[in-house]
Amino acid sequence: MKMRKLVLIAGIFAALLPFSAHADITIGLAGPFTGEEAFFGEQIKHGAEQAVEDINAAGGVLGQKLVLKSGDDACDPKQGVAVANQMVSDGVKFVVGHVCSGASIPASHIYNEENILMITPSSSNPALTDTGFKNVFRACGRDDQQGPIIGRYILAHYKGKKVALINDQSAWGAGMAEQVKKTINAGGMKAVMDDAYTPTERDFSALISHLKQAGVEVAFIGGFHTEVGLIMRQIKEQNLKIQVIGGDALVTDQFWKVAGSAAEGVLMTFGSDPRNKPEAKAALETLRKSGFEPEGYTFYAYAAVQAVAEGIKRAGAPDPVKAAAALHATPVQTIIGKLTFDAKGDVTGPTYVMYRWHDGKYAEIEK
């Protein structure tokens, strides 16, 4: 009899285990945690972890704790797909990521097929949301909002100058260059040079020679911090006076570490610094005390976690389809301000501003 009771108790305990295992709500965190863009992965990791910590400290979501499960895509399209498939296999229903558009776009198709809610803190290529997937969102703006800011700045400040358009052939870099090109062309300005490079390159002497031969005075470079930093160093070595303008991929102190003083005066676009938002004050202090400076997309990742949590709360259950519908229905208040998602999953009214690198730091400048 005692043995039968023990077996019965054991059976009940075993039956309860699956429910206990799923008591937490898992959010996938996908991005480059290794490779040259790992600094962006570090940004979203700290932002997402701080958001989870703060939300859990306030009682969690629907009485459940949030937990993160990371997937490293190294900003590579194929690895992005592999991470997405792993999230599916692990039963993850919510994903914050990916970071790079090149990984986000193919991964989004998998998430769409599996009804997984995805919100990227940083992927800005329009193709990500132009598909119209109802479960794909972004907390940042789009290239066709950011690129025209650069194009109009060039038209306003460098009219009559010789302009070059350069990109790293990635979904983001090429997309940004195309948007800048459209804008300056519409303003009656033509680039004297339109070129591309391979991200793995380290010797940019051929590119520098082309810039010199074309007499380029202003260059937009759609590329990430390592390559642009090396290009800047080699431009300086050749004593060329070229005003370089980049995009939000240069929003990291690592850019200055690569380029050194050659980065002095480089311009770039990014949203108004989220560290200056009153909503970010507490998290800003906490992260700085831990020894991490929450630059770039740190707080965008924090906001993405907040959006997922709010969607689940409004849905009344960790149901990604209902949560996505809830996010489309009404705005979400986040650490970077109110996010209102349109039918595509894009945020309405994002603002981009120009920044200038000076003495190892970047700051907003007047238009």
Residue the block writes with tokens 């206990």 = 20
Query: Residue 99 in contact with residue 80, Cβ under 8 Å?
Result: no
- The dihedral through the CA atoms of 270, 273, 277, 279 has a sign that is positive
- Domain ranges in the chain? 7-140+276-339, 144-265
Average pLDDT for 132-161? 96
Distance CA 176, CA 148 (A): 9
Give Cβ neighbours of residue 86 (< 8 Å, ≥ 6 apart).
71
Answer left, alpha or beta for residue 296, where phi above 0 means left and psi between -120 and 50 means alpha: left
Same fold, 7-140+276-339 and 144-265: yes
Residue 367 has pLDDT above 70, yes or no: no
Fold of domain 7-140+276-339: Rossmann fold (3.40.50)
Q: Encode pLDDT of 341-351 as tens digits.
A: 999 999 998 78
Q: Encode pLDDT of 268-282 as tens digits.
A: 999 999 999 999 999
pLDDT at residue 160, rounded to an integer? 95
Q: Encode pLDDT of 203-251 as tens digits.
A: 999 999 999 999 999 999 999 999 999 999 999 999 999 999 999 999 9
- CATH for the 144-265 domain, from 1.10.3720.10, 3.50.50.60, 3.40.1190.20, 3.40.50.2300: 3.40.50.2300
